A = this chain, B = another copy of it.
Amino acid sequence: MAAGSNSLELVVLGLLKEQDMHGYELKKRMTESLGLIMHVSWGSLYPALARLEARGAVKAVEARPAAPSIPMTGSLGGERAVFRSSSDGLRGSRNKKVYGITDLGSALFSEMLNNDSEIDEKGFAVRLAFANHMDSQTRLKMLKERRDLILERVQSSRKNIEKKRFALEPYVELVLEHFRSTSSSDLAWIEELIAKEESSIKNSGTDLLVSQEIKDSI
């Protein structure tokens, strides 16, 4: 029942929550604002939109009246195209298909955001990027899970390396050292976020549902 940890669908829903968009616009927006974090290909995006539409999470809507960037020419062609849109199957001028999020889609977004636990770097980053749609407790839980995961990986790596009979190739050690250093700085960053989150929770009296761990720390 729980939709299993699909970060692309999460991003699509998250962006559609802000604004109705068509596929091309979605990709542009993703690469522009989240380009450092994730990358999406056509072969993923359009099937994802189709899946979401089939599930009823998004639906084709009437295109927004006017693009904010001035077309400079009040062309009749555009008008005709928009007209064709409504008579046809909600297809905009340049064969555009503008999607909007449904109530079910909003619910799905919350469900994915709050109840899926991500394993990989990308999944975590994406989820964190939309963390303002979570409540403090969930955010804190996510951060701590991530912290524990990284910690465990680094320790396990150190352990496996140190007690090894087989000699590692020189560049492997180089790469590993860098990854450990990166992990350390990631860890410090997450710890910082956790600390901020906890102090924020303590200050704004969310006495209800405060976890045992926090209570102990008071």
Contact = CB atoms under 8 A, between A and B. Distances in A.
A168 B36 contact: no
Given A125-B175, A178-B189, A189-B178, A169 B132 contact: yes
A179 B125 contact: yes
Contact of A171 (B129, B153, B179): B129
A161 B166 CA distance: 47
B33 A129 contact: no
A132 B36 CA distance: 29
Given A185-B185, A189-B178, A129 B36 contact: no
A180 B36 CA distance: 8
A174 B193 CA distance: 10
Interface string A101-133: 000000000000000000000000100111110
A130 B160 CA distance: 19
A85 to B, nearest CB: 24
Interface size for chain A: under 10, 10 to 19, 20 to 34, or 35 or more residues? Answer: 35 or more
Given A35-B153, A128-B171, A182 B185 contact: yes
Those 4 A-B pairs whose CB atoms lie nearest each other, nearest first: A32-B160, A131-B171, A36-B179, A36-B157
Given A33-B176, A128-B174, 13 more contacts: A32-B161, A32-B164, A35-B157, A36-B153, A36-B157, A36-B176, A37-B179, A68-B165, A128-B175, A129-B172, A129-B175, A132-B170, A182-B185
Interface of A: 18-19, 32-37, 68, 125, 128-132, 153-154, 156-157, 160-161, 164-166, 168-172, 174-176, 178-183, 185-186, 189, 193
